[in-house]
Amino acid sequence: MGGCFSDVRGGQQAVGSGGPAAGASPQELNDAVGYFLHSRGLRGLFTTLELSFSASKLRNLDVLSKSDPMVVLYSKKRDGMLEELGRTEVIMNSLSPAWITKFTINYQFEIVQPLVIRVYDVDTKYHNIPVKMLNLNEQDYLGEASCALSEIVTKPSRSMTLNLQDQRGHSGLHSGTITIHAEETVASRVAVEMILRCSKLENKDTFSKSDPFLRISKIVESGSSIPICKTEVINDNLNPVWKPVTLSMQQFGSKENPLMIECFDFNSSGKHDLIGKLQTSVSDLEKLGREKNGANFYISSVARPDNRKMLKGQLFVDKFIEKTQYSFLDYISSGFELNFMVAIDFTASNGDPRLPASLHFIDPSGRLNSYQQVSGVEGIMSAYAMALHNVALAGPTLFGPVINKAAEIASRSLSTRQNKYFILLIITDGVITDLQETKDAIVKASDLPMSILIVGVGGADYKEMEILDADNGKRLESSTGRIATRDIVQFVPMRDVQGSQVSVVQALLEELPGQFLSYMQSRDITPHLAHPREASAPPFPQ
Cα separation of the two ends of the chain: 61
Low-confidence residues of the chain, pLDDT below 70?
Answer: 1-46, 109-110, 169-173, 186-188, 302-306, 329, 345-395, 430, 458-462, 470-474, 495-507, 529-542
Distance CA 315, CA 240 (A): 10
Distance CA 322, CA 72 (A): 33
Enumerate domains of the chain plus CATH numbers: 10-184 (2.60.40.150), 190-324 (2.60.40.150), 328-529 (3.40.50)
CA atoms within a 13 Å half-sphere pointing along the CA-CB vector of 23 = 0
Residue 46: predicted pLDDT: 60
Q: What angle do CA 472, 473, 479 make, to 5 degrees?
A: 95
Of the chain, the percentage scoring pLDDT greater than 90 comes to 38
Distance CA 414, CA 469 (A): 25
* Alpha-carbon torsion (21, 24, 27, 30), positive or negative: negative
Distance CA 481, CA 439 (A): 11
Residue 27: predicted pLDDT: 44
Burial of 446 (0-12, 13-18, 19+ CB in 10 A): buried
Task: Assess contact for 259 and 215: CB atoms under 8 A.
Answer: no
Burial of 209 (0-12, 13-18, 19+ CB in 10 A): middle
Q: For 323, which DSSP code?
A: E
DSSP, residue by residue, 272-298: PEEEEEEEE-HHHHHHHHHHT-EEEEE
Backbone angles phi, psi at 56, to 5 degrees: -145, 140
**Biggest CA pair distance of the chain:** 79
Residue 273: predicted pLDDT: 92
341: left (phi over 0), alpha (psi -120 to 50) or beta: beta
Q: What angle do CA 505, 509, 514 make, to 5 degrees?
A: 170
Residue 38: predicted pLDDT: 44
Cross-strand partners of 493: 456
Residue 13: predicted pLDDT: 29
